[in-house]
Structure 1
Amino acid sequence: MALLLWLALLCSGAMASATPDLPNAGTSLAELENLALVAAPSVQLAQAEQDVAAHRNSTARASQGARIFGGTGISTAREAVTDTLSRDYQRFNVQLGVRWPLLGSRDAQLRSVREAELAVAQGQVRLRLARQEAVQAVRRAYARHLRTAQRVGIAQAFLGMRAQARAQLESRRASGVLLEAEKLKLLGLFDMVQASSDNQRAQQTLNLGELARLTNLPQPTIQTLPMIWPESCLNTDTLRAGADQHPPLALTQLELHTWDQIAATLQRTGLEASVSVAQGVTRDIGGPNGRNTSVGVDFSMPLQWRAQRDASLGQIQSERTRLESLLHVRRSEYHALVEQAQIQWRQRQNEMAALQNRLQAAQEASRIASLRLEAFDGDGYATLLNARHELYLAAVQVVDGAERRDLAQLELVGLVATDCGPPALPSRMTPRSR
C-alpha cells in the first residue's frame, strides 16, 4: 500500500519532503538565511537607521574643539576732538579669529559626542537584532513549509486510493452489501482529506510568499530538508553565558556605560566660557587704515549655578539607578525566557512519543483490516477505509507534533548569542518543493 509505504518512510526519518528524490537543486536554508541578512525589509530599515546615526556621530565629532569666527561692518561716527571741535567719519572694519570652548561649554561638546556614539552602538545592536529576527522568520517559514509539504504528501497518498475506493463502494452498493448512506459517508472521507490538502497547498503558497518577502527571491525553489541543530545551540550553559549579548540587555548596558561617561561632564554644567584670539583691520573712509589684535576671555554662569549642578548630578544618579534596575529586570527576563523555551521544547519532544505510538497503532489496525477484508463483505471494506483514514489522521498528527517541536527548538536556537550557523542537513536526500 502506498500509504503504508509512505508512513514507514516517514517514521524511519528517511522521508523529509512530500516530493520524490530529485537532483540537488533549489535554495538551501543557509542560502536563505544569508539573503535575509541583507534583503529583509526590517534589516534594510535598521541598516538605514544605523547609517543615519553614523553620520550624526561624524557631525558631532567634527563640531568639537575650536571654532573660527569673523565679522565685518561699517559705522558712522561723530567723535569729539576738543571742547569745541568734533570729527565726523565712516569706518569699515573686518575681524577674524579663533575661539576655544572652556569649562561647561567644552563639556557640552563632549556630551554631544557621547550621545552620538551611544546612538551608533545602539544602531549596531538593533541591526544585529533585526538580522536575528529575519533569520528566525526565515527558519520558521522554512519549518512550516517543510511540514506542510509532508502533510500534502500524506494526503496525496490517501487520495490515491479514491478511484479504487469509489469503484469498490459502487460495486458493493450495487450488490446490496452496502447502504447508500454508508457509501456517501465513506466517500466523504476523501472529500475532507482533499479539502485539507487544498488548505495545506494554500499554506505552502503563503510560506513561499513569506520567504520571498524576507529574501527578495521572486519565486524561490526551496530544498525541504529537516533541520538538525548542534547540541551546543541548545545547551543551558551556552544560553546563560550569552545573556549579556541578548539585544535588550546589550542596549541597557550600552546606555548605562554612556551615562557613566556623561556624569563626568556635569561637574561644570552651566559654566560657559571661552578664550578667543582675533585679528582686525579697519579703514576710515577718506582716511588711513588701521589694525588691531585682541585676546579675550568670556565667562557666564547662572545665579543658581550650584543648585543647577546638583540637580543635574541628581538626575544622572537617578538615571543610573533606573538603568541598573532595568538591567536586573532584563537579565531576569532573559533567564526566565531561556527556562520557558527549554520547558516548551522538552514538552514538544515528549509529545512525539505518544503520537508515534498512536501512529503505530493505526498502522496495525490498518494491517488487520486488510487481512479481514474478505471476511466481512461490505462492512470489511468500510472498516478498511476507516482504518486507513485513521492512519492518515495519525500521520498528520505526527507531522503536526514535529512542526511544534521544530518551532519550539527554533525559539531556543534564536536565544543563542553566538552564530550557530546553518543546521546540519542530511546529504542522501535533496528533494525540492515549489
Structure 2
Amino acid sequence: MVKKPTNKVYVIGVGMTKFIKPRGQVDYPEIGLEAAVKALNDAKISYDQVEFAACGFCYGDSTCGQRVLYQLGMTQIPVINVNNNCSTGSTALLQARNAVASGMVDCAMALGFERMQRGSLKSNWSDRTAPLDHVHNLNIEQTQPKAGTPRAPLIFGNAGMEYMRRYGATAEHLGKIAEKNHRHSAKNPYSQFRDIYTLDQIMQSPTIYGPLTKLQCCPTSDGAGCSIVASEEFVLKHGLMDQAIEIVAQVMATDSPKMLSTDAIEWVGTDMTRRAAKSAYEQAGITAKDVQVVELHDCFSANELITYEGLGLCAPGEAHKLIDTGDNTYGGKYVVNPSGGLISKGHPLGATGLAQCTELTWQLRRWTGDRQVPNTKYALQHNVGLGGAVVVTIYKKANNNFTQPHVGYNPAVEARPITKADYEKAASKKSNRAEYLAVEAKL
C-alpha cells in the first residue's frame, strides 16, 4: 500500500494549447510557454512564486524544460526534466505534487509539451537496446505479425483480441468506444479532431492491425499542458480555495512479472493499472462507484476496453457490457473521456497527462459548458506509458463554492492564444528576464 502524504496538495491553475497535427508549424518553446502562461494566469500568480518545476517531454534534448521556462524568468529554481514514455505528463505532475506534499516547497509547476514526427511512433536510436524489446519479442513470437506492422498497434491490438476471445467482446465494441470519443471531442475546442463519425465509418476506416481501424488509434500530435499545484497554506494565503481542486490520491505503479507472461492482456501494463487504481481508491477513501468522470488513456480503443476493468469500473470480463448499457458516456454511470480522449483530442506524449488534469479541473469547477458532466464530485485520471509506468490520480473540488473564469473568457470552452498582456501577468519581474529571449516581440 502506498502511504498518503500528510500535507494536502491542490491544483490551483491549469492551461493547455490546442493539440494539432505535427507539421513543423510551431516549436516546443512556443507551445510550452503558452500552456505555462495560461496556467499561471488561471492561478492568479506570476512565475516568481513558483519554487519548483517538473517538465515532461519524450522527443527532445536534455534541458528543454529550462529552455521553455527561461522565457518566463531565470529565477534559479530547480527544474527537473522528465521522460516516462506516454505517462510523462502525469509523472511530471507527480513530481510537482510530491515536492509540495513533502513540504519542500509551497508552489510547484508541472509542464508537459511535445513536438512530434508524423506517422507511427518510432525510436530515434538504432545502436542500443530498446526499452520494450522484451514485449516486442513476445508479440512476434506469439502472433507472427506481418513484417512492418507498427509496434504500438500490434501490442494493443493483440491485447484487445485476447479480451474479445476470452470474454465475448466484439470488434464492434471497440468501434463504439471510438465513436463515443470522437463524438465527445466535437465539443472540445482543444481537440485535434472534432469530426463526428458513425459507427460504420469507424469500422470501415483503414485497418491498422487486427480489429483496430485508423479511427480507433490516437494520432501523433503537437501540444502542451500545464498545471500549478500548491499547499493549503499557499491556497489560503492567496484566496484561491474556491477554484482549487484537491488531489485526494495519486499513485504511480510499474509492471509486475505478468507483463512478461504469455497473456496478451498483460503486455499493455494492465497489472500496474490494477495496482495503482487499488492504492488510489484506498488513499482517497472511496471506491470506483464514487467517481463520475474519467479521463482514461485510450491510445487505442482496445486499451480503453481493457482499462475499464483495470480501474474497477466494471466486474472482471464485463467491460463490453459497460459499453452496451451506455455507462461510459453521458446519461450513464460514468462519463469516460469527455475531452475526446487520446483517440480524438490527440496525444502529444509529454502533454497528455497534463491535458487530462486540465480537463478534470475544468469539469470539477463546472466550467465545461455543453460537455459538462453533471453532479461531479470525484474525477479519476489514468495515464499509462509502456515499459512501464502508470499514474492514477483522483481529484475533488476543495469546497462547495463555484467561481467563474477570471481571465476575460472561459478557457474550458474557447481556445485562445496568449497575448502580450497575458505574458506580462505571468512572467517574473523584469530583473529575472533575459533580453536575448525577446518573448514580447513574438506576441
TM-score band w.r.t. shorter chain: under 0.3
Q: TM-score, normalised by structure 1?
A: 0.19
| Bigger radius of gyration | 1
Q: TM-score, normalised by structure 2?
A: 0.19
Higher helix share: 1
